[in-house]
Structure formats: structure tokens, C-alpha cells
């Protein structure tokens, strides 16, 4: 199942770890827009963005581009001691303390706990590592170009395993009682902490305990599939032969428990930008499948909370239309609930939203491609108030057990179905491969 391989992590040198770590790390590459990318490049000359998501420059060509610059930067930082490889193989416990954001069920402060290790790559379909989302070719091509140039994992794939008794995280928790190696607050107010476990007996126990655990990819599908492609390429170049594991046979992951109360899944709301009917027209168009309930726009909190509460027992969606003086809740009529024999994918709220609502309101491919996505309730509604979109469709978060059910059944969820929060930062610990 999960074949953990403790690894010699590469971290920033101690002075940066203690004084400047907040200025050299970055969020995952796929949540960084062009403006923030520029800001991270300007923030610090050693920011990991120079490795993970370099800027394109005039005159770029094959062999002289952002990927070759990342490789050159990595080589110089390693040589100069900006980045230092740990002398002993280790696993790295990791905790993120955060305030629960809008869009989640519940409020308050939570702590996501897990650990970073490398794990042997497994092809999908083996019953060992399960995806739940489809991927796109352009993103995988970009990541493969970077991996070919640098032979490194700068960021963690985020995976989940079942630990109902809490025994594995209990072992990790013991290490977390010591002073962390890294401890700081990031840009969005999350407290980030990282420890190191290099005791051989503890590592052996964790590796053994994880050996029977299937893994579910929460975030990082493109990076995982890229790692598979990179492995195939390297094996082909090596001409096969030999059974010993090579560095490219593994990939760096953050492992967290499906049962961890610190894990949050946020919904991804849809903001439609194509022409849609006014509220009365939408109501008429969808009345065969949904029950409608109106809320004045000055009762936003009640509108959202009612959607969350009712959504515990039935598929319920929120609708805001540009220029309307009210919001609407759309509750799927009981006779239109998916039957028990439906696939796990088809039972999802997001699948119902796509097939019963969006396909009717967005009849063309161009309409679908114009959709904006946000995990924030208020941002979705504010975009409509500002005239950025014609209608916003809000939904409740997908449950972790639903993700597991879809993945185990071999299904893939619709595009933008889940937003696991918080996401591990890039640059805390890296896997720089050595042949």
C-alpha cells in the first residue's frame, strides 16, 4: 500500500529558517496568479518561487527558459549553502493552525496535523493510491518540464489515509511536543510548524504502520501524474533492468488522516458570466426539479446558514442574480434525488449542480469556460453585486467520506469539486533527488 521512504530533506539554512522563512516560502503553484507571482519574486531574492514558478523572459527558447533558470538557481543555492540537505533520512511532522474560513461548516480554530515523507509511486488502478479529480494536459506538461530540469519535488502532494484510532497521528503528536524546527505565521494568518523525526525505531514503526494504508490524493493530482510520467521517462532512458528503487521511483507527500478534525473541505462556488434568465425565468426553468425559497439580500447570513443546515439532509444550492433584491435557495425535490443504485459520483451535490442547473443555464462550451470559481461565500455574492457576473451558484462542501467513496469506486469528480484547506506551503522542506 503506502511504502514510505524517509528522506534527506532539503531545507533553507538555519538563519533563513529563524528570521526570514515567511518571506521565502510560497503557496502551491496552482493557486498563485500572475500578480502574486510577481510579488513573490520581488519579496525576497531567495524565495522558492524562483524554483517552483519562474517568470518567463524575452528571448526564452528550449534549453534557455524558466525551467533551466530554476535548475541553475537550485544548483547555486545548494552550492552556496542557501539550501542544505539533512544528513539523516527523516520524516517531517507538520501542523497548520488556522481560523476556519467562510464556506466551511463550523467556526473557530482548527489544527491540521500530518507528516511529510516520500512514498513509492504507484500506478492508479492498483488499489494503493486513489485519485478523485481529472487532470489537464497543459499543467502536466509544465510540471514535467520543471521536473526534468530540476529532478526535485519543491512542493508536497497532499494525501489522506484512514487512521480511525489515531495511532499514527498519535506517534507524530509525540514528536510535536518538542520545539518545532520551523514556527511562523504566514500571509493569511496560519501558524505553520515543522518538526523532524530521524530516530530509526520511530521511523521503522511509522513505515510499518502505513504499509497497509491506501492513500487518497486530496490535492496535487497534476504533480502526482507528472511524477509517474517522469518515472516512466527515466526508466526508459535507463533501459530497464534492476529492481532497486531509484530516487525517481518516489515522490514527496504530506500525509494526513481522513478522520483528523483539523481537515477542512471548502466548496467551490460558480459565478456565471454568460447571459442567464432573470430570477423568475430561472425559477420557471428549474421548477420541475427544485423547491425555491427567497431571502432578502440584507439577510445574507441567514441565507447562507440555511443552505448549510438544509444541505445536511438534501442537495441544496444558493442562487444570486445580478440586480435582484433577493437570494434564492434551490432544494432538490425528493423524487429527483439520485437513486441508491447511482454511482458515487452522481450522488454528489456538485454533480447534481452541473447536470441539473449549470447545463441548463450554460448551454455552450464558451459559457462553461467563462465560469469563475471561488471558495468564498461572500466573494461569490459580492461579484454579483459588483456586476462581475450574471449569477452565482453556491453549494455546500463535499464531505471527505464522499471523496473517498468516489475514489475507491474508481470515479473522478467533476472539475472544481473540492478545495481542501489549508494547503501545505511550498519551500518548507524539499526533495532534491540524487542518483
The helix (H) or strand (E) run that includes residue 384 is: helix 377-385
**φ, ψ for residue 39, nearest 5 deg:** -65, -40
Q: Which residues make beta-bridge pairs with 99? A: 109
Using 50, 70 and 90 to split pLDDT, how confident is the model at 407?
Answer: confident
Q: Residue 122 and residue 129: Cα distance in Å, rounded?
A: 6
User: Do the beta carbons of residue 322 and residue 391 sit within 8 Å?
Assistant: yes
C-alpha span between 123 and 131 (Å, rounded): 10
Please report where in the chains the cell 524539499 appears, as a residue: 430
Across 3-12, 134-143, 258-267, 318-327, least confident range: 134-143
Would the pLDDT of 59 be above 80? yes
Mean pLDDT of 252-263: 93
Q: In this predicted model, what pLDDT tens digit does every residue of 220-236 receive, in sequence order?
A: 999 999 999 999 999 99
Q: How far is CA 241 from CA 120, 231, 235, 245, 250, in A?
A: 18, 14, 9, 11, 18
Helices (H), strands (E): how many in the chain?
Answer: 16, 21
Q: How far apart are CA 150 and CA 319, in angstroms?
A: 46
pTM over 0.85? The answer is: yes
Distance between CA 324 and CA 171 in Å, rounded? 54
Amino acid at each position: 500500500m503506502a511504502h514510505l521512504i524517509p528522506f534527506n530533506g532539503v531545507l533553507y539554512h538555519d538563519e533563513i529558517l529563524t528570521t526570514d522563512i515567511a518571506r521565502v516560502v510560497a503557496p502551491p503553484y496552482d493557486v498563485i496568479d500572475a500578480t502574486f507571482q510577481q510579488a513573490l519574486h520581488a519579496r525576497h531574492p531567495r524565495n522558492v518561487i524562483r524554483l517552483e514558478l519562474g517568470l518567463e523572459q524575452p528571448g526564452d527558447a528550449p534549453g534557455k527558459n524558466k525551467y533551466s533558470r530554476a535548475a541553475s538557481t537550485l544548483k547555486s543555492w545548494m552550492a552556496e549553502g542557501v539550501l542544505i540537505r539533512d544528513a539523516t533520512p527523516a520524516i517531517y511532522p507538520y501542523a497548520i493552525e488556522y481560523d476556519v474560513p467562510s464556506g466551511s461548516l463550523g467556526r473557530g480554530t482548527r489544527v491540521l496535523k500530518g507528516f511529510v515523507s516520500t512514498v513509492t509511486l504507484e500506478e492508479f488502478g492498483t488499489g494503493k493510491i486513489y485519485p478523485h479529480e481529472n487532470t489537464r494536459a497543459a499543467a502536466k506538461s509544465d510540471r514535467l518540464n520543471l521536473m526534468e530540469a530540476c529532478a526535485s519535488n519543491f512542493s508536497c502532494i497532499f494525501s489522506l489515509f484512514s487512521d480511525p484510532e489515531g495511532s499514527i497521528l498519535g506517534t507524530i503528536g509525540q514528536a510535536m511536543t518538542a520545539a518545532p524546527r520551523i514556527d511562523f505565521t504566514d500571509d493569511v494568518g496560519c501558524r505553520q510548524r515543522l518538526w523532524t523525526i530521524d530516530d530509526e525505531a520511530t521511523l521503522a514503526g511509522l513505515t510499518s504502520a502505513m504499509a497497509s494504508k491506501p492513500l487518497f490524493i486530496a490535492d496535487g493530482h497534476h504533480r502526482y501524474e507528472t511524477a509517474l510520467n517522469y518515472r516512466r521517462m527515466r526508466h526508459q532512458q535507463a533501459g530497464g533492468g534492476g529492481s532497486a528503487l531509484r530516487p525517481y521511483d518516489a515522490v514527496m507527500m504530506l500525509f494526513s488522516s481522513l478522520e483528523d478534525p483539523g481537515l477542512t473541505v471548502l466548496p467551490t462556488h460558480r459565478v456565471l458570466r454568460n447571459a442567464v434568465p432573470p430570477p423568475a425565468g430561472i425559477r420557471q426553468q428549474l421548477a420541475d426539479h427544485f423547491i425555491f425559497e427567497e431571502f432578502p439580500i440584507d439577510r445574507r447570513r441567514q441565507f447562507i446558514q440555511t443552505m448549510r443546515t438544509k444541505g445536511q439532509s438534501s442537495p441544496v444550492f444558493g442562487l444570486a442574480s445580478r440586480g435582484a433584491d433577493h437570494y434564492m435557495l434551490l432544494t432538490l425535490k425528493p423524487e429527483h434525488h439520485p437513486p441508491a443504485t447511482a454511482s458515487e459520483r452522481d450522488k454528489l451535490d456538485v454533480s447534481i449542480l452541473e447536470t441539473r442547473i449549470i447545463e441548463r443555464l450554460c448551454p455552450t462550451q464558451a459559457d462553461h469556460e467563462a465560469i469563475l470559481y471561488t471558495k468564498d461565500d461572500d466573494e461569490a455574492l459580492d461579484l454579483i453585486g459588483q456586476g462581475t457576473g450574471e449569477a452565482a451558484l453556491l453549494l455546500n462542501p463535499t464531505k471527505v467520506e464522499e471523496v473517498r467513496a468516489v475514489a475507491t469506486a474508481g470515479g473522478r469528480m467533476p472539475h472544481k469539486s473540492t478545495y481542501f484547506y489549508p494547503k501545505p506551503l511550498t519551500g518548507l522542506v524539499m526533495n532534491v533527488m540524487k542518483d
